[in-house]
Amino acid sequence: MTTYDFSNQTAIVTGGAQGIGGAVTELLTANGARVVIWDMDVELAQTTAARVGGGALAVQVDVSDWDSVQAAMAKTQETSGSVEVLVNSAGIAGANAPLADYPVEEFRKIVDINLNGTFLVNKAVVPGMTAKGYGRIVNIASVAGKEGNPNASAYSASKAGVIGLTKSLGKELAGQDISVNCVTPAAARTRIFDQMKQEHIDYMLSKIPRTRFLELNEAAAMIAWLVSAENSFTTGATFDLSGGRATY
């Protein structure tokens, strides 16, 4: 396994209690980072923190609420100091339905968490990175944000927005040693599948040329390089984890 030096670095991982975020939490901790898990499910986050060790902490936060994000940021700085790494993994899939039938409040909820949540967390973390002149950010989007999945207009639109936000922020901070990139995973077997109809899961699998779902450790490996000091040039970019699905 490739290793990186994250010693003396604090990393926030939103949605870090399980799924891709959980795999990232484990890998960064194993490479010396002190990880602060931001998650709505604080009990699961505490369990994950205890399991990975390394001084990992759990903070309950609603990424779609600015007051909650600010409180989480203040607690993180109080306990762990400056933040060098952010992996923004919190997100939901939401309901599957044709756009004409899509519940308005459900659409707003998905955009609030996936897109507005990404904005708020980045907004909270960037000033500290700017002051220090160093930082690494990865926002987790989705291949659905590139290609659009039928009956998933809210999720697809929210993840397309994450890609656009990442590109914009990457250009804003390009003059400093701060990189802002995103990854666009194909589906991985996580708890998010519980929110989807089986026919939608089957559809996603049928679109992956490798004919299997993404493994969590595969996602974590790419993200670990993106948030390492070795990634000193690439910013504002989109990295595919689509198993050959993405066409651009």
Q: Which of 102, 134, 155, 248 is catalytic?
A: 155
Q: Which residues, in sequence order, are CB contacts of 45 under 8 Å at separation 6+? A: 16, 17, 37, 38, 39, 58, 59, 60
Distances (CA, A) of 65 to 32, 69, 105, 141: 30, 6, 16, 20
Query: CB burial class (10 A; 0-12, 13-18, 19+) of residue 16?
Result: buried
**AA identity, residue 242:** S
**AA identity, residue 60:** Q
Helices assigned H by DSSP within the chain: 19-30, 42-52, 66-80, 104-111, 117-132, 144-147, 153-172, 198-206, 216-226
> Does residue 155 have an active-site annotation?
yes
Active site residues: 155
